[in-house]
Amino acid sequence: MSYLANNYNRRKISFKRGKGSFLYSSKGKRYLDFVQGIAVNSLGHSNSHLNKALSYQSKRVWHVSNAFQIPEGEKLAKRLTKKTFADSVIFQNSGAEATEAAIKVARKYFYSKKKPYKNRILCVKNSFHGRTLAAIHASGSKKMIEGFGPKVPGFDHFIYGDHQSLKKSITKKTAAIMIEPVLGEGGIKVIPKWCLKGLRRICDQKKILLICDEVQCGVGRSGKFFAFEYSGIKPDIVPIAKGIGGGFPIGAVLMTKKVASGMTPGTHGSTFGGNPLAMKIGNAVLDKIMNKNFLDNVKNISNYYLKELNKIKKEYPEIIKEVRGLGLLIGLQLHNSQNKFIKLLEQNKLLTIRAAENVVRILPPLNVKKSEIDISIKIIKKVCKNYK
């Protein structure tokens, strides 16, 4: 019996140790971990560079209040803005907090511009922005909202791919469109470049803000630092989380100078957000990821992996419907429910996780080796071969 509440459907497996792409179970079995905490452990398990940073900072100072200067945070913010669209950063502890902070920034911007009526956020129906009260209503998923009423107001939704529904939903009360450049939980759906460009154009025409939720697809996961970079657009606000901490909980919202102008002292805060320990680790993650060779390698491995997966699809078109993804955010869409397939992969010592639309989500660490990709290909082939 468990003393944990029953809000997860947990698999009956636990781990005592991890190294790189591998996890070792309590029963001594080795698994190739292509979940990596759901795109969190960007450098794999127990990375020596991150271990050093953690150990170094743990002996100096873990936590001080944001009432004081935090040099490690200044450094991380500078690095996150220097090569990106952003001019400033607010640190949080998780993805949901980061998306909520993004919403607050958008609303506060129009409030400070004497347009307080512009406060509604337009989101994709059945997207994913986290599990806090506002975030579930931003997601617009009936399943996530059920039982958690009353409804949090201020969110409108449009159907992904439906331009009429998008245009109709923009009113003079709309403050921002919030969108995941790759719908992660929604089934690894990559929003086409022209579509993101179109959204940017609409936002410019209507003088509203564009929020790109890069909590899952950001920080190198896509093969570029941000997934939206593929389309050449510049958003106004970008929440990030998962990959930036390499396993340590960090969230952040990046924004332009223009929209940051509303966030004056006292308007927003977080007790833990941006503490020295977290910031030291975030910087250590960037030491590796903010490196041209590193991201080129993600792209190369991704090209290879997608090609191999498409070969498997070609061999088993009755099982695999589509191979989707960008960088190392990969989905195998099956014709039928993916649960059994994921279980079979696990029995063959490959860990993956589901996403919507019958998708098997595959999330290797960003520093995965080609030989490890090859192990996974072998296992996926074997499972396909023996599949009912």
Ligand X SMILES: *Cc1c(COP(=O)(O)O)cnc(C)c1O
In the complex, the residues that contact ligand X under the rule CB under 6 A are 94-96, 99, 128-130, 180, 184-185, 213, 215-216, 241-242
Least distance to ligand X, CB of residue 103, Å: 12
Least distance to ligand X, CB of residue 210, Å: 15
- Tell how far CA 159 is from the center of its chain: 21
Least distance to ligand X, CB of residue 99, Å: 5
**Between 100 and 156, CB nearer to ligand X:** 100
Token output for 24: 């070792």
Residue nearest to ligand X (CB): 95
Q: Cα(323)–Cα(313) distance, rounded to whole angstroms?
A: 7
Least distance to ligand X, CB of residue 133, Å: 12
DSSP β-ladder status, 120-124 and 174-179? parallel
Residue 15, classed as helix, strand or coil, is strand
For 317-342, give the DSSP string. Answer: TTTEEEEEEETTEEEEEESS-SHHHH
Least distance to ligand X, CB of residue 216, Å: 3
Residue 369, classed as helix, strand or coil, is coil
**Between 22 and 248, CB nearer to ligand X:** 248
Token output for 27: 């029963």
Q: Smallest Cα–Cα separation from 365: which of 13, 23, 14, 81?
A: 23
Within 177-243, residue ranges assigned H as helices are 193-206
**Total count of residues recorded for the chain:** 388
Least distance to ligand X, CB of residue 214, Å: 7
Within 146-291, residue ranges assigned H as helices are 163-169, 193-206, 257-260, 276-289
**Between 20 and 95, CB nearer to ligand X:** 95
**Between 127 and 302, CB nearer to ligand X:** 127
Q: Cα(238)–Cα(209) distance, rounded to whole angstroms?
A: 11
Q: Are 180 and 216 contacting, i.e. CB atoms less than 8 angstroms apart? A: yes
**Between 103 and 334, CB nearer to ligand X:** 103
**Between 33 and 185, CB nearer to ligand X:** 185
Least distance to ligand X, CB of residue 347, Å: 27
**Between 72 and 213, CB nearer to ligand X:** 213
